[in-house]
Amino acid sequence: MAQDEFLLQVKKFAWLVLGRLALVVALIYLILFIVRVAYVLESPVEVVYGEGQVLNQANVLLNGGKLYGPIDDYPYLVTPYTPLYYYLVAGLAWLFGNSLLPGRLLSVAASLAVGGLAGLSVWEITRNRLASLSALLVYFAFQNVWAWTPVNKGDMLALALAMGGIYVTLRGRSPTALSPLTLSLSPVGRGEGATCYLSRTAALVPLYRPTVARSVTKPATMALAAATGPAPLPT
């Protein structure tokens, strides 16, 4: 009995150390993420393919044109995404000037919202502050987040809408509504990337039993699951 109690304490200590180590690493990534965002925001030209195209389509809207005209006739414009992001960029360009910066700032704001909603969603599941903070920080360590956060494209907005749907569902304690709610929201910005992320994160709802999820010994595992999809809980 004494040996079992000792092993349990060692196990708890090991998970707490791993959780705090993960937080330190995630903070380092967060600093590098901020540097990357600042660098891209200062660039007057597109840094990934499609930024200029999105801005051009926003200008089409500002000039009274149509997003989805015929593609076999002049001016031969193709609009690959759903309209919400284009309309928002057009409005921001009208208010703040015709450049890539307004759309990029919109994407940054949406990405920050995703990180915050990831942390809040884990809080709703676990009531564990370390797990919630880890989920928020780990999100900013992913290469795809670095790549798409500061650019003038609709990926981050779609992801923010999807995560918003997840959080609203968790707050309402009705997991059965998760899939239709979030799938109806995420394609408004851009569907495929958000839906992929959603399909992995949605598995959090049935995965964690409250008595297990609220244990102080498992914050690192839950943070990883929140950011990448389901992972087995240590027992």
What digits encode the pLDDT tens for the residues 95-140? Answer: 999 999 999 999 999 999 999 998 998 888 888 887 788 788 888 8
pLDDT recorded at residue 228: 38
pLDDT at 218: 42
Distance CA 189, CA 186 (A): 6
Nearest Cα neighbor of 56 from 20, 108, 103, 125 is 103
Contacts of 202 (CB under 8 A, 6+ apart): 166, 178, 179, 182
Give me the DSSP letters along the chain. Answer: -HHHHHHHHHHHHHHHHHHHHHHHHHHHHHHHHHHHHHHHHT-SS-SSTTHHHHHHHHHHHHTT--SS--TTSTT-----S-SHHHHHHHHHHHHH-SSSHHHHHHHHHHHHHHHHHHHHHHHHHH--HHHHHHHHHHHTT-HHHHHHTTSSSSHHHHHHHHHHHHHHHHHHT-GGGHHHHHHHHGGGT-HHHHHHHHHHHTTHHHH--HHHHT-TT-HHHHHHHHHHS--PPP-
For the ranges 26-30, 53-57, 68-72, 200-204, the lowest mean pLDDT is seen at 200-204
- Rounded to two decimals, the pTM is 0.73
Q: 201, 200, 202, 226: which is closest to 213 by C-alpha?
A: 226
Whether 205 and 168 have beta carbons less than 8 Å apart is answered as: no
State which amino acid sits at residue 105: L
Q: What is the pLDDT of residue 18?
A: 80
Q: Is it the case that residue 61 has pLDDT exceeding 70?
A: yes
At residue 165, the pLDDT reads 79
Number of neighbouring beta carbons within 10 Å of residue 17: 11
Q: Where are the domains of the chain?
A: 16-44+103-228
Name, in order, each residue with C-beta under 8 angstroms of 24's C-beta and a sequence gap of 6 or more: none
